[in-house]
Amino acid sequence: MSGFSPSLPLRKDPMYAGFALNATMLDVVKQNFKNLVLTAPGERMMIPDFGVGMRNYLFEMNDPITHSAIRSKLSSQVEKYMPFISILNVDFNDNGAALGDISNSLQIVITYQVSPLNLSDTLLVEI
């Protein structure tokens, strides 16, 4: 069976006689989208403005202002580097506050559509 690209992180898979592969185009798009979201600007060689840099928001206040900044950065990066994706919804789930926990934990659920494939998917990012 063939695949489209190596699945990250790299791991051995005897089914492919080597490394595990992304079996569908949706898997490839999701992996590339996750890389865009997690890469910090300046981290990728030769493309200094690439990436949302989600870790940069780790110690920011968990409030609507920060949520708006994340949405804005996400939209501009997707528009520039992955224009075939349409972001349908961005939800912020603050798990710690509901449980009375003082940890600074945030789940971001990004629902998006891949226009050429006419498929939707969800990416969960935890910071």
Domain ranges of the chain: 5-126
CB-based contacts of 12: which residues, under 8 Å, 6+ apart? 18, 19, 20
Peptide bond before 41: cis, by omega within 30 degrees of 0? no
pLDDT of residue 104: 59
Stated pTM of the model = 0.82
- The CATH topology of domain 5-126 is Nuclear Transport Factor 2; Chain: A, (3.10.450)
CB-based contacts of 89: which residues, under 8 Å, 6+ apart? 109, 110, 111
pLDDT in tens, the chain (127 residues): 577 777 778 777 776 668 888 777 888 899 899 999 999 998 889 999 999 999 888 888 888 999 999 999 999 999 999 999 999 999 998 765 555 555 557 889 999 999 988 999 999 998 8
pLDDT of residue 103: 59
**Residue 13 corresponds to which tokens in the numbers above?**
């898979």
Residue 24 gets the label, from left (phi > 0), alpha (psi -120 to 50) or beta, of beta
